[in-house]
Structure 1
Amino acid sequence: MQASTPLPTRRADLLARLAEPRTWDLAVVGGGATGLGVALDAAARGLSVVLLESHDFASGTSSRSTKLLHGGVRYLAQGNLSLVREALHERSTVLRNAPHLASKLSFIMPSYAWWQTPFYGIGLKLYDLLAGRAGLGATSFLGRAQTLTALPNLQPAGLCGGVSYWDGQFDDARLALALARTAAREGALLLNYCAVTQLLHEDGRVAGLRCEDRDSGQGYAVRARCVVNATGVWVDALRQLDGAALGRSVGPVVAPSQGVHVVVDRDFLPGEHALLVPKTADGRVLFAVPWLGKLVLGTTDTPRSDLPREPRPLRAELDFILGEAARYLARAPTRADVKSIWVGLRPLVRPAGDDSDTGSLSREHTVLVSAAGLVTVTGGKWTTYRAMAEDVLARCFQAGLLPEKPAGVSEQLKLVGAEPAGNAPSPAMSAPAGPHIYGSELALLQTLPGAGRALAPGLDEAMVRFAARYEYALTVEDVLARRSRLLFLDAALAASLAPRVAAILAEETGRAPALDDFLGLARDYLSWPSEQDA
């Protein structure tokens, strides 16, 4: 594997670039999958780009997904073939451009009624057909014995058989980081912990923004020809700032929904297959997905009216997940078996006047251009981040906000760390985390102090130093939640390692790495809601 030279992410140098008097082609607000995708696509086309994120990259929705690169079996059932076809194409693009962070995964739908195998099997054959040459493997029909062999802890009572099909999975937070670092490689300036506080208007048009470094409180004025609002569930806040500056009233476009995930040990579903129940007792979908050596159970779809940075589960959501798992697993996990609980907010787009519940709202993305030229993008899903970015830039060109550049550049663009052609494939994402996630940067990682000095399985001291030097990490949470995924896999273990990680970070950055904040967060990832939160 060839070593590569990553770009340093020294905070002082990044802020010095931000302070330079210039006008950028594009300023992107929001460092989740969508904003990072826009920044990368624009930079790869030769535009000058600055991206600002108020917290850490992917610290919101983009690190709290079900970790699936998928076309959307549920969207297939809804008849949304165009969305499924686009997502299946983009799934193959991610697998090709970031093979160290994504892999294919076999899913099995068990059948507990005679008609389920042919019914779901025919639909999944259509899924294969829509994927075409981008397919990852053929759908197959399984007998009862084959299904139990593939899913050893599956509930055998009443089982008739099953259907096996293929989809993809990935490390969402590390893929977001790879997008950020690849955009930087293409010339973009990206800053986390730099909050946008105001939009700049000139002659009734958006001309840039003001932002503030959250560490020092230093403010910066950033001029840009085009500003893209890609702040996920929080897009309405920036839209309202835009409207208020022009004396306009702006209504909300997002109807937030939260999805809860529970993590348990892999022995509750041994093997290399994921379990998918397409219709639970209340009509939802249940996943049991092997990921980074653990098992992820989820998810829920619960409307929310507030937008906390750290959403917490409702008691009823956890009861639902564990209750449904007990229906399908012969030995089911209990509350005592839970290693971590995380919650993500989905930015679902609600049409004007639509009072539907979030389960029926569109998963497609929306791009809006305000009267002042603020471009807002929201909705969509992780798998289609690149297609969303192309749509955003197309609207920017159409509105005359940016000089038009040819599309398609990012489709073949290998992300930072992608292994050179000819190397052995990385382990599947269901396998425990390890140095392989660094791809072509592994050789450099192994030269850093602390290489091989393990803090926990899959995490050594050199990885913490790498995160501080080359991956924008400033806090213990940055390292243990997103550069390593330990908080999401085993919150108690993450808490036990936090003091050592804090010491290494302080040595590398000269900053206080927010240890106490992380310890409180880790407790939240293990806490159970009270009865009144049901």
Structure 2
Amino acid sequence: MTTNAQALPTRRADLLERLRDCTRYDIAIVGGGATGLGVALDAVTRGLKVVLVESHDFAKGTSSRATKLVHGGVRYLAQGNIALVREALHERTTLLHNAPHLAQPLAFVMPSYQWWETPFYGVGLKMYDALAGKAGLGKTEFLGRDATLASLPQANPAHLKGGVKYWDGQFNDARLAITLAKTAALHGALLVNYCKAADLIYKDGKVAGLVCEDTETGAQIEVHAGCVINAAGVWVDELRQKDGAANAHDGRRPTKAMVAPSQGVHIVVDREFLDSEVALMVPKTADGRVLFAVPWLGKVILGTTDTPRHDLAREPLPFKEEVDFILSEAARYLRRAPKKEDIRSIWVGLRPLVKPQDDDGDNTKGLSREHTVLVSRSGLVTVTGGKWTTYRAMAEDVLQKCVDKRLIHCDKKPVTAHLNLLGAGLAGAAPVSISLPAGGHSYGSEAVQLLVMPGADVTLTPGLTEAMVRYAARNEYARTVEDVLARRSRLLFLDARLAGTLATRVAAILQEETGQDPQIDAFFALVQQYLELPA
């Protein structure tokens, strides 16, 4: 096992050479989001030989577009899903312990504008505390009007009665994904982004590997594995359809889609609209969804929506009614209402909600937020659904299913519940960290490596140095300007216009480091999309 993170073989040529050289893996994983990366780390730390391929960048899809909350799910409690809430609360504590540089407790205040709201929601949140038990992050408090405004100075004071304060967690989703990838690589897994699973390999009617395609060159590589896990999130049905078509000779009906995509829109505005380190939470808006105003990395995230979507665009666009809805609901609860011209960035994620096989409806609000694991007749394992908070428990469930179906042999118990992720430092030690709100970096104990890299003293913008760009290319699998400014740093998500002004310089550094086209024109187009409002 590699012990020095700087020695991790994250250079593209090294990764592809390793992919070509290996004759067989225990597990091949398709999808480099929360689920796939979680499975890779769980499997490799149990001694299995693991490869993971991702057609784009790690966390390019849903896993970089969350509301940034590590939570038990207050609204799931209201739905009576106690088991899901209890599991998520347990996993919340695990994540905060294993990655303190990426996840921290966050206080929420639920303002009350009707006399009954404080006692009604307060009782439910006291139950939330009870389910958390010793894993609780703080006690729920009933607040009067003055205390509510002290916590949320920008809350709308008109008709405000009081509020309820409770605790959950917050995290940096894309940075956590990169950290999971690096931690899995540290333990010996091979992870390759920009490498598509173009097809499945079969032997005696059973899935036996993948035909992988390097999307930068078009070169194809065969990867043989005892077990193939389809963890492509909202895109899992593409590989399931290939599997179904390959086995259509047995007379079975065509493979039916298991994912009903739901679109969530997030709007980012300046900190002044909330002016607090406490988040605002509205449990029930006009459409029945929760509304959040969440402080994150020096900005405020407003969202989110839950709208059925039938296409699977990698960069889905918001609908006009979604933007209007978020802004109008925010205006009801904030002293100063954000306008369209105040938006710094707007981004959309597709949730992979699991669709009952006899359901052709469009009501995504009623679909399961839990994960589902299916094994086809040919042995293809598919996992989708769930949420970031429970990624680790999902990984355990997937591997248990693989063991039960005799697709892998593994006697070792999972160890990830007590495994510090890279950057967390030694167990029991406070991590050395650089956490820069302006750029959205959280390196933890890995930050010391930046101090000795070229460009450590060259600031591109507050929170982003030249060394950080070089580090992303050398140590964090970054290939394009988007990789750096959207996911290694979070600038595109925080302030798209600012990200656009840095693109040319970042592209030049990347080209020095990789020798490849850093895709700057594509990034400029993306900047416009993150600024452009639907007509």
TM-score range, shorter chain: over 0.9
Provide the rounded CA distance (Å) in 1 between the counterparts of 2:508 and 2:362: 49
Superposition map of 1:47-126 within 5 A? 47-126=48-127
Superposition map of 1:66-465 within 5 A? 66-247=67-248, 248=252, 249-354=254-359, 355=361, 357-421=363-427, 423-424=429-430, 432-433=437-438, 437-465=442-470
Q: How far 1:476 moved relative to its partner?
A: 0.2
Amino acid in the other structure paired with 1:437: S
Q: How far 1:471 moved relative to its partner?
A: 0.1
Provide the rounded CA distance (Å) in 2 between the counterparts of 1:208 and 1:318: 43
Contact 1:257–1:358 (Cα < 8 Å) also in 2:
yes
SS at match of 2:443: helix
SS at match of 1:520: helix
Which stretch of structure 1 is more off in the superposition, 64-73 or 243-252? 243-252
Provide the rounded CA distance (Å) in 1 between the counterparts of 2:309 and 2:501: 32
Q: How far 1:353 moved relative to its partner?
A: 1.8
TM-score, normalisation: structure 2? 0.96
Percent identical: 67
Provide the rounded CA distance (Å) in 2 between the counterparts of 1:49 and 1:215: 22
SS at match of 1:157: coil
Which stretch of structure 1 is more off in the superposition, 452-461 or 251-260? 452-461
Contact 1:3–1:441 (Cα < 8 Å) also in 2:
no
Gap change, CA 1:211 and 1:9, over 3 Å in 2: same
Provide the rounded CA distance (Å) in 2 between the counterparts of 1:528 and 1:156: 29
Q: How far 1:504 moved relative to its partner?
A: 0.3
Q: How far 1:407 moved relative to its partner?
A: 2.9
Q: How far 1:423 moved relative to its partner?
A: 4.9
Gap regions ≥5 residues in structure 2: none
Structure 1 vs Structure 2 CA RMSD: 1.6
Which stretch of structure 1 is more off in the superposition, 397-406 or 67-76? 397-406
Provide the rounded CA distance (Å) in 2 between the counterparts of 1:13 and 1:79: 50
Amino acid in the other structure paired with 2:39: V
Q: How far 1:442 moved relative to its partner?
A: 1.1
SS at match of 1:446: helix
Contact 1:90–1:386 (Cα < 8 Å) also in 2:
yes
Contact 2:197–2:213 (Cα < 8 Å) also in 1:
yes
Contact 2:109–2:279 (Cα < 8 Å) also in 1:
yes
Contact 2:433–2:443 (Cα < 8 Å) also in 1:
no
For residues 159-188 of structure 1, what are the alpha-carbon distances to aligned partners after superposition, in whole Å with 9 as ceiling and x for unaligned?
100000000010000000001011101110
Aligned: 1:501 with 2:506: yes
Aligned: 1:36 with 2:37: yes
Contact 1:99–1:419 (Cα < 8 Å) also in 2:
no
Provide the rounded CA distance (Å) in 2 between the counterparts of 1:226 and 1:320: 45
Provide the rounded CA distance (Å) in 1 between the counterparts of 2:502 and 2:426: 33
Provide the rounded CA distance (Å) in 2 between the counterparts of 1:305 and 1:4: 41
For residues 258-316 of structure 1, what are the alpha-carbon distances to aligned partners after superposition, in whole Å with 9 as ceiling and x for unaligned?
00000000000012100000001221110000000000000000000110010010000
Q: How far 1:433 moved relative to its partner?
A: 4.7
Amino acid in the other structure paired with 2:356: P
Contact 1:435–1:458 (Cα < 8 Å) also in 2:
yes
Provide the rounded CA distance (Å) in 2 between the counterparts of 1:417 and 1:407: 24
Q: How far 1:405 moved relative to its partner?
A: 2.9
Structure 1 runs (4+) deviating above 6 angstroms are 425-429
SS at match of 2:437: coil
Q: How far 1:435 moved relative to its partner?
A: 8.8
Gap regions ≥5 residues in structure 1: none
Contact 1:196–1:210 (Cα < 8 Å) also in 2:
yes
Amino acid in the other structure paired with 1:123: G
SS at match of 1:226: strand
Provide the rounded CA distance (Å) in 1 between the counterparts of 2:278 and 2:492: 24
Amino acid in the other structure paired with 2:447: L
Gap change, CA 1:127 and 1:141, over 3 Å in 2: same
Amino acid in the other structure paired with 2:507: A
Amino acid in the other structure paired with 1:446: L
Amino acid in the other structure paired with 1:406: K
Q: How far 1:419 moved relative to its partner?
A: 2.8
TM-score, normalisation: structure 1? 0.97
Contact 2:32–2:232 (Cα < 8 Å) also in 1:
yes
Provide the rounded CA distance (Å) in 1 between the counterparts of 2:483 and 2:379: 33
Q: How far 1:356 moved relative to its partner?
A: 5.6
Amino acid in the other structure paired with 2:140: T
Amino acid in the other structure paired with 1:481: A
Provide the rounded CA distance (Å) in 1 between the counterparts of 2:300 and 2:431: 23
Provide the rounded CA distance (Å) in 1 between the counterparts of 2:319 and 2:440: 36
Q: How far 1:3 moved relative to its partner?
A: 9.1
Gap change, CA 1:361 and 1:522, over 3 Å in 2: same
Gap change, CA 1:326 and 1:436, over 3 Å in 2: closer
Amino acid in the other structure paired with 1:24: Y
Q: How far 1:453 moved relative to its partner?
A: 1.5
Q: How far 1:458 moved relative to its partner?
A: 1.1
Contact 1:302–1:358 (Cα < 8 Å) also in 2:
yes
For residues 36-79 of structure 1, what are the alpha-carbon distances to aligned partners after superposition, in whole Å with 9 as ceiling and x for unaligned?
00000000100000000000000000000000000000100000
Provide the rounded CA distance (Å) in 1 between the counterparts of 2:53 and 2:367: 29
